[in-house]
């Protein structure tokens, strides 16, 4: 406290259920109590976990074991997990029956129709339209990724003098949106990497967009796959900047990140390793 006075409360914890110190057993006990209470109240419980790919394997295993046992009791508890593409593999590594516990839904690019609706429908409610060429340009620049569509749509709305939102407004929005995404979304990810990891990212961007051969990326650096293995694995497991869609391939987890790296940190530039 301001005057330097301190106080504390010293009370022994009352022993009960869910406090053995064993996460898998305790989590089950907690969920069992919660599920019973929800069932008596004729309601349900949903638990949401984000960035689940960063959970320790042991913790994932505990969650899966508890969820499996709760499912056998048919208690009204659901778990929703969100994470990067490697999450499905992490779950299977944690438990052999993970595939039976979850239904998997990949969230990536929207379809052309859905992406267009994301901009057109809310604008129409406010009496505003898009010129077809401006709409096509914005969706192409946003890559049809949900967050980027929001970003480009926001700035197109702000800079357009009226309806319809035309190509001039779309190009102005593109300049602003790219600057904002570069300085925030992309730069924060780049800054997570060490100098050696940044060089690996620059090499991947230099090879091309989409999943690329790990052998090609290492070769672009003049190294073997064994020599780049540590950087590659850290970028997947620790930093979450890359993922492996299948054995021998590597790709960026963030959309359009390769384009950012090529523009700001090209492999030939000293900035790629600084």
- Give the pLDDT score at 1: 63
What pLDDT was estimated at residue 273?
41
24, 61 in Cβ contact below 8 A? yes
Round to whole Å and give the CA distance between 216 and 218. 5
- pLDDT for 160 equals 93
pLDDT of res. 120: 95
Length reported for the chain: 274
**pLDDT reported for residue 102:** 81
Taking the C-alpha atoms of residue 207 and residue 217, their distance in angstroms, rounded to an integer, is 7
pLDDT confidence of residue 63: 85
- What was the pLDDT predicted at 154? 95
The predicted structure's pLDDT at residue 202: 95
Looking at residue 269, its pLDDT comes to 65
Predicted pLDDT at 271:
40
- Which residues of the chain are modeled with pLDDT < 70? 1-3, 13-21, 269-274
pLDDT at res. 17: 63
pLDDT for 260? 93
Which pLDDT value is given to residue 60? 85
């Amino acid at each position: 406290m301001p005057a330097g006075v301190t106080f504390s409360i010293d009370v022994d914890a009352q022993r009960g259920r869910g406090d053995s110190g064993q996460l898998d057993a305790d989590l089950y006990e907690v969920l069992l109590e919660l599920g019973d209470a929800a069932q008596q109240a004729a309601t349900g419980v949903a638990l949401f976990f984000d960035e689940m790919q960063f959970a320790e394997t042991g913790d994932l295993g505990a969650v899966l074991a508890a969820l499996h046992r709760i499912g056998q009791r048919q208690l009204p508890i659901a778990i929703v997990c969100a994470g990067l593409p490697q999450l499905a593999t992490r779950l299977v590594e944690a438990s052999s029956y993970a595939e039976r516990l979850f239904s998997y839904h990949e969230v990536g690019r929207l379809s052309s129709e859905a992406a267009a609706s994301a901009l057109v429908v809310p604008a129409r409610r406010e009496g505003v339209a898009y010129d077809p060429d401006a709409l096509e340009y914005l969706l192409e620049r946003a890559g049809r990724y949900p967050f980027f569509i929001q970003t480009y749509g926001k700035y197109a709305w702000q800079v357009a003098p009226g309806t319809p939102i035309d190509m001039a407004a779309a190009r102005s929005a593109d300049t602003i949106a790219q600057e904002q995404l570069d300085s925030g979304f992309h730069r924060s990810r780049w800054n997570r990497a060490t100098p050696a990891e940044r060089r690996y990212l620059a090499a991947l961007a230099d090879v091309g967009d989409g999943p690329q051969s790990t052998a090609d990326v290492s070769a672009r650096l003049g190294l073997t796959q064994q020599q780049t293995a540590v950087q590659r694995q850290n970028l997947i497991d620790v930093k979450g900047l890359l993922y492996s869609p299948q054995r021998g391939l590597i790709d960026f987890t963030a959309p359009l990140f390769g384009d950012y790296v090529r523009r700001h940190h090209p492999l030939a530039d000293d900035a790629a390793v600084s």
